[in-house]
Amino acid sequence: MNTTTKQKAFWFHYNKPLSLQRKKNILTVHFNGACHFVEGLDCRVPIKTRNRKLQPRCVMAGKASSIKIENEVAIII
């Protein structure tokens, strides 16, 4: 769990290799220098697409003050 008062950038994407390995959909959430593997998201802040030249090619990005992981779901506030 990462908690801050100032909003920091985060981004997330579908993790195909890990999803195939675990046989369920897995998302990777990057926030505050850490990667979190989750099965779902509850995103309570605005997000937008961001295109990249390297994999993953398309990610969703925004700013959040905290991210909590509960029952394999990232709650982005």
pLDDT, averaged per 10 consecutive residues of the chain (77 residues), comes to: 76 98 98 97 97 96 97 97
The pLDDT assigned to 24 comes to: 97
pLDDT at residue 44, as a whole number:
97
Task: List Cα–Cα distances, 60 to 21, 22, 23, 28, 55, in angstroms.
Answer: 23, 22, 23, 11, 13
Judge contact between 51 and 18, C-beta under 8 A: no
Could you tell me the pTM of the whole model? 0.88
Judging by beta carbons within 10 Å of its beta carbon (0-12, 13-18, 19+), is residue 14 exposed, middle or buried? middle
- Residue-level pLDDT at 27: 98
Strand partners, 63: 9
Number of domains in the chain: 1
Distance CA 3, CA 63 (A): 13
Residue 22: which domain range?
A: 2-76
